[in-house]
Structure 1
Amino acid sequence: MPRYFIEVAYKGTRYSGFQVQNNAITIQSEVEGALAIKFGQTFQLTGASRTDAGVHALQNFFHFDTQADLFYQQYNKEKYTQQVLYSLNSILPGDIVITEIFEVREDQHCRFDAVSREYKYYIYRKKNPFYKDTAYFYPYTINFQILQEAASIILTTKDFTSFAKKNTQVNNFICTINKSEWVQENNFLIYNVVANRFLRGMVKGLVGTMLKTASGKISLEEFAEIVKRNNNNNTDFSAPSHGLFLVEVKYPTI
């Protein structure tokens, strides 16, 4: 059966997360609804990365299988695909956009075949009404050098039990972090992290606890101990979701 990937971007402010939930509006429920209206049939989507409520994405993916020949009904396949995208995006609300739909191998999986995910967390220091939905206002004193040192400590472990929220249902807490750094860019302080996988609440836990360290509430030694301790009793998950963006999901053949 043919399999298709859907690439999406969205502002997550209004949504209860990425994956479909009972009695909640999610990115998946909106995209499935648009597909059903366009093609007159139901679709069951599988997601690549389950962003939490309020988290945004510049790139995320779904895949689905269908017997229907969705995109080859006219001679000019590219033109027809663009018509499909236009129609779907006309149905979707303005804070979700489908950027691509394309056929892949029948065994290609948008979640399990992804080799890395990249997140960025945005912080702004001076009050600005245009940033309030997409970055965290943090006007307190921060030691940038300590932030960088804390980000480097994160690279020394693979067990992120300390940064997963309680009742996270996974087989293990092992993640391979390939990049962990803070940068200052224009009016933002940005945490950039790349890994093969992320746990529920992990990036917000990392950011909140690093900010606690850089603000002098705990020492770097205490931060390192939290990383090694493998429990989340002293992890700070208070960083709000609206500062977090899923930037890229990478595949070996996409």
Structure 2
Amino acid sequence: MRYFIELSYNGKAYHGWQNQPNAVSVQEVLEKALSTLLREPINIVGAGRTDAGVHAKQMFAHFDTNSGFSQENFMYKLNSFLPKDIAIHTIFEVPKEAHARFDALSRSYIYRISLTKNVFDYNYSYNFNLPLDIEAMNEACKVLLEYENFKCFSRSNTDVKTYNCDIMEAKWEENNNTLTFSITANRFLRNMVRAIAGTMIDVGLGKINIAQFHDIIKSKDRTKAGASVPGHALYLTNIEYPNHILKNK
């Protein structure tokens, strides 16, 4: 039987979602908890990867097991077993062919910038005190929708078959001294959102104009784009799936 898990996590203590040597990941902690409770080796597949320090308000993953269990009771046990920075919200059975990564229709992220020094929020937003031209940054958002290949915003030496992504929405909004970048796409490349946000900050500072922003994307060259912003202010916020997968949620 295949199950989907909906969870959230505070990424501060983790070196990203995916298992890797010599570093603690969210995937590793969750697999160990599931394996212990189900008394069998459990491997999970996430909807995507998040980098070190990045948070998820909504993440999905799937796993297979032959063990029967009460979903509500098992979710309670799993939450009790997991550390306080990982929370399970739902566990539900899905068709055997359902896939947390490949069946996702879209992913959404936000990046939070604090425009004033905030002693209570510095772990969860990027403090940036220089004035930014938000109108110009939103013009750059419109440019993103004109392109498909975003190699210029991808981490170098990434092993992917294509650098094409369908960006459906991108915008900057300011509210109560917090500037929030929201972006939705069918898929994202490694480091892509942080590189886009960093390059758009350069637009907001007047270091890059809109014509140059076009040129950066056309170049397909990571060295032409701006620096990546820190990961601690990035949040995976929403993942969409077809109704036939979520019907038992």
TM-score normalised by L of structure 1: 0.93
Secondary structure of residue in 1 paired with 2:222: coil
2:140 aligned residue = 150
Amino acid at match of 2:234: L
Give the letter aligned to residue 90 of structure 1: S
AA aligned to 1:207 is: A
Is 2:149 the counterpart of 1:132?
A: no
Q: Give distance in 2, aligned partners of 1:39 and 1:177.
A: 39
* Secondary structure at the counterpart of residue 233 of structure 1: helix
Post-superposition CA distance 1:2-43 (Å, at most 9, x none): 100011100101101101112211010111111122222220
In structure 1, C-alpha distance between the alignment counterparts of 2:176 and 2:145, rounded to whole Å:
26
- Tell whether 2:88 aligns with 1:94: no
Aligned to 2:74: 84
**What residue in structure 1 maps to residue 242 of structure 2?**
252
Structure 1 contact 201–237 (Cα < 8 Å) conserved: no
CA RMSD of aligned residues (A): 1.1
CA contact (8 A) 1:38 1:88 kept: yes
* Letter of the 1:97 counterpart: A
Q: Which amino acid aligns with 2:148?
A: K
- TM-superposed deviation, 1:90: 1.3
- Output the amino acid matched with 2:194: K
Deviation of the 1:155 alpha carbon: 0.8
Separation in structure 1 between the aligned mates of residue 138 and residue 83 of structure 2, nearest angstrom: 38
Per-residue deviation, residues 82-133 of structure 1 (Å, max 9, x unmatched): 3222211111111111111110000000100000000111111100111111
Residues of 1 paired with 2:105 and 2:199: CA distance? 26
Residues 54-133 of structure 1: pairs in structure 2 closer than 5 A: 54-71=53-70, 81-133=71-123
Deviation at 1:237, TM superposition (A): 3.1
- Where in structure 2 are there 5+ consecutive unaligned residues? none
The CA deviation at 1:134 is 1.1
- Counterpart residue identity of residue 53, structure 2: G
Q: State how far apart, in whole Å, the 1-side matches of 2:159 and 2:177 are.
A: 37
Query: 2:208 maps to what in 1?
Result: 218
Task: Determine the C-alpha separation between the residues in 1 that align with 2:224 and 2:194.
Answer: 14
Counterparts of 2:213 and 2:54, CA distance in 1 = 25
Q: Which residue of 159, 170, 173 maps to 1:169?
A: 159
CA contact (8 A) 2:38 2:67 kept: no
Moved over 4 A (4+): none
Shifted more, 233-242 versus 160-169: the winner is: 233-242
* Helix, strand or coil at the partner of 1:223: helix
TM-score calculated relative to the size of structure 2? 0.95
- The answer as to whether partners of 1:148 and 1:182 remain within 8 angstroms in 2 is yes
CA distance, structure 1, for counterparts of residue 81 and residue 2 of structure 2: 22
What code does the residue aligned with 2:239 have? V
Q: State, as a whole percentage, how many aligned pairs show the same letter.
A: 40
Q: 1:51 is matched with which residue?
A: 50
Confirm or deny: 8 A CA contact 1:16 1:54 kept in the other structure.
Answer: yes
